[in-house]
Amino acid sequence: MSGKYWLNLFTGKTWEEFLENGANVSGFREQRRKAAANIHPGDYLICYLTGVSRLIGVLEVKSELLY
């Protein structure tokens, strides 16, 4: 089965922080915890930059959710 696609929202600030910290770990708000639990290795995160309304990247999920 092919991976699922999920939307991963960033602000300008969170995108900069993501890149500055190695672009290896992405997080979700506490309110999205249940949805995030359905994301698994092989899935893809479509990165969307709010404020400028742009798709900015696609990330492949490499490990299970860490709490």
User: What is the tally of structural domains in the chain?
Assistant: 1
Looking at the domain assignment, is residue 43 inside a domain? Answer: yes
Question: Could you tell me if residue 10 is inside a domain?
Answer: yes
Structural domain boundaries enclosing 35: 5-60
Q: Per residue in 21-65, pLDDT tens?
A: 999 888 888 888 888 899 999 999 999 999 999 999 999 999 987
How far apart (Å, rounded) are the C-alpha atoms in residues 2 and 51?
31
67 within a domain of the structure (yes/no): no
The model's pTM is 0.83
pLDDT band at 67 (very low <50, low <70, confident <90, very high): low
pLDDT at 59: 93
